[in-house]
Structure 1
Amino acid sequence: MKILVVDDNPAILDSLSALLSAQGYFINTASHGLAASEKLQSSCYDLVIIDHLMPIMNGIQLTKHIRQHEVYADTPVIFMTTQGRKTVKHICDISLFSAIIDKPIDEQNLLKLINDLLSPNSRLQLL
């Protein structure tokens, strides 16, 4: 399974890459939405983890861009934010995301969420 992690903080990219690689996932990273968009065009991903506030193209803009492409219309997107779920609900349609998680990241919850989103049986139940 291939996961794209998008965050402008190198420490978060490194920690999530190490965590997810240790679980057997193939990880690719991008430091902003535009770089992620380019990677999404050149490769296919099973899941995308996106930070909210980033330079050049923020996480909401990137997710809207992703959802416009048929290939990624149903790809799970986990949205990471320091702003809180309530704030995100007020600024965009949260149905764009498969899940919203708060930063700092609870690694065990993230791993469970990824497992649920990538498991065919669980994914159908989440819809």
Structure 2
Amino acid sequence: MQILVVDDKQIILDSLSVLLSKHGYIVDTACNGLAASEKLQKSGYDLFIVDHLMPVMNGIQLTKHIRQNSTYSSTPVVFMTTQGKGLIQSLCDTELFSAIIDKPIDEQNLLNTINSLLSSNTRYQSL
């Protein structure tokens, strides 16, 4: 399973890369939404972990872009935020996201969320 982690904080990219790699995932990273958008054309991802507040293209804009791409229209997106779920609900349609998690990240909650999203998608059950 290949995961793209998008966050403007290098420490978050590094810590999630280590965590996810330890659990058998192949991890790619991008430092903002625009960089992630460019990577969508070059590689196939099974799941996205996207930060909310980033320069250049924020997480909401990136997720809308992901959903418009026919290849990724149903690919799970885990949205990370420090702003709280209530604010996200007031900013956009939360149906864009497969899950919303708060930062700082609870690693076990993130892993449980990823496992749940990937196992509930029949495309991944056959892999």
Normalised-by-shorter TM-score class? over 0.9
The correspondence of residues 5-16 of structure 1 with structure 2, limited to 5 A, is: 5-16=5-16
Structure 2: stretches of 5+ with no match in the other structure:
123-127
RMSD of equivalent CA atoms:
0.8
Q: For residues 45 and 123 of structure 1, what CA distance do their matches in structure 2 show?
A: 14
The correspondence of residues 20-31 of structure 1 with structure 2, limited to 5 A, is: 20-31=20-31
Deviation of the 1:5 alpha carbon: 0.1
With normalisation by structure 2, the TM-score equals: 0.94
Secondary structure of 2:57 counterpart: coil
Q: Deviations over 1:8-50 (max 9, x none)?
A: 0000000000000000000000000000001111111000000
Secondary structure of 1:70 counterpart: coil
The correspondence of residues 46-65 of structure 1 with structure 2, limited to 5 A, is: 46-65=46-65
Secondary structure of 2:34 counterpart: helix
Q: Percent identity?
A: 70
Alignment length (residue pairs): 122
Q: For residues 89 and 102 of structure 1, what CA distance do their matches in structure 2 show?
A: 13
Secondary structure of 2:74 counterpart: coil
With normalisation by structure 1, the TM-score equals: 0.94
- Runs of 4+ aligned structure 1 residues displaced above 3 Å come to none
Secondary structure of 1:3 counterpart: strand
Deviation of the 1:123 alpha carbon: 3.6
Q: For residues 38 and 81 of structure 1, what CA distance do their matches in structure 2 show?
A: 22
Secondary structure of 2:71 counterpart: helix
